Each structure stands twice: as C-alpha cells, then as structure tokens.
Amino acid sequence: MKVIDSELMKAYARMAMDGFNQGWHERNGGNLTYRLKDSDVEELKDDFKEDGIWEDFGWQAGHESDSSFSGLAGEYFMVSGSGKYFRNIQPDPEDNVAIIKLNDTGTKFMKVWGLKKGGRPTSELPTHLANLDVLKKRDEDIRIVYHCHPTNLIALTYVLPLDERVFTREIYEMATECPIVFPEGIGIVPWMLCGGKEIGDYTSELMKTHDICVWAHHGTFVCGRDFDETFGLIHTAEKAAEVLVKVMSITNVKRQTITPDQFRELNKPFGVHINEKFLYEKKDGTIGQMPEE
C-alpha cells in the first residue's frame, strides 16, 4: 500500500491538523513521532526506498554524533520534518513528513519515505527517540511522542511554582478528568535549550513515570499508545489550564474546590491510583500554595 493512502497516514495527519486548529503549532512549531508496528511496516514496506544513506542524528545543540538508541535498533518511525508547518501536513504529507529506519545498532537513521523536496526529520528527533527508548521499556504499546505549544499551560509556567506537586494539584482541581487521565501527574522541565541533549535526557528521566511533561516557558511533551489517547491527554490538560487561567483572572483565592478525599474517591471506580504526593492538605484556597514540608 502507498503510505499516503494508509489509515496510519490519515490518522497522523488528522492529529497534526487537530493540534494546529487548537493554536498549538504557530509557524513551524511542534513535532510528532510515531513508532511503527510490525504490521504497519509489512503493509507499507513496498513503498519504502531503503537504498539511501545512513545519517547521524545530530542533537541541535552540540551536534553530538555518538548518540545511540539501541532499544529502538532496526525500527521505523513516522516523523514530522524540520522547519515544516503542521498546517501543511494534511494537504501534502509527502513533503512534510518522513518515515525513517534506524540501523542495527540504533546509531544512525535512513529516510525511507517522504520529505520529497528534501530536508531532515525534526530537530527534536534525538529527544523523541530518547523518550521512545525509555517509554518502550516502560510499556511496549506506547508508540507516540508529541511536542506542542498549548497557550494556557505555557502561561501558567510564568505564575505557578515550577514544582510538579503544585502545578499538578492546581490542574487537577480544575477538571475531575485530569487525575483519571494522568494520575502520575505532570512532570516539570525547567527552561532548557530545545533540541539539546540536556532537555532530552531530563525529559526522558521524567517519562519513566509520567505521560505528560511541561517544558517551562515553551510547551509540552506527551506520549500515548495511539493518536486519540495522545491528543486526548494534552487536550484535557490544556482545557484544565484554560479554566485555571480564567479563575486566576478573577481571584487568587478559590472559594471552593475538589478536596484530597474527593480525589481519592476516583481511584476505585476508575481503576487508577492517584499519586498521594499531589493530595496534600492546603491551609486555604490560595492558588499556587506550596505543600508544607
């Protein structure tokens, strides 16, 4: 089957356009990577050209060429292109998206489809692969990592403490769905140069236990088993952030909110275990209150 006609490409392009329509992908902002299943490769392999050159990953900062993602060796990935605009993926995926294959040691990649007018995969490719390597060890079925720039979550990184306990708790209180969708909370990455090894390593460490991380003053990084789950995760968090921004535009003290014991009521019926570190008692309704040590 032609990649461009596949259900996989349609789902990838739809998610890209959904994110653009939310306002999360200004200019060429954001990137999306999907780790192909064996069945995907079998379906699409006749459209691949595997006679290209093996290339170094090249971290954007430092351009280290000795990166190795051995846990992903030999696998294929659908990735957005560097400098490409998400709004152009759906009308012309072959110019804006690539499928790449890693070599047998996970140290180089080859483009086997896409980017028909030239170019490279996203500059965040090493960060994406570093995280997919970690996520595969955590759960074989996690195949997607997605980076976008959701307005309200970014805005909150300027006013809330950059402490995952506080940030998560304030988001949790805005929507009951949040602790159900991401019971392990939101990981917080302090501002770091995007595309660099430091932010890749820092995020990978958090992704050992988190499905969503906020990059301070920049955006978010999320993962999922399929496109619906991944988009739904960030959509839920960003909606809660929008509610919080509106509440904070009115007051810095909530008159009422969801309590720790009420959060705990969600565990059994929804089959989750909300991390207790987010369920600390507060002295009052002041927004952004740090837990007492």
- Cβ atoms of residues 69 and 130 within 8 Å: yes
Reply yes or no on whether 265 is catalytic. Answer: no
Q: Are strands 97-102 and 212-215 parallel, antiparallel or unpaired?
A: unpaired
The Cβ of residue 228 has, within 10 Å, a number of other Cβ atoms equal to 12
From the candidates 124, 164, 173, 184, give the one annotated as an active-site residue. Answer: 124
**Which amino acid, residue 278?**
F
CB proximity list for 66: less than 8 A, separation 6 or greater: 107
The identity of residue 127, as a single letter, is T
Residue 154 CA, chain-centre distance (Å), reads 14
- 211, 233 contact by CB (below 8 A): yes
Listed in sequence order, the residues at least 6 apart from 280 whose beta carbon sits closer than 8 Å to its beta carbon are 165, 169, 260, 291, 292
DSSP 8-class letter at 284: S
Phi, psi of 66 (to 5 degrees): -100, 20
User: Which residues are designated catalytic?
Assistant: 124
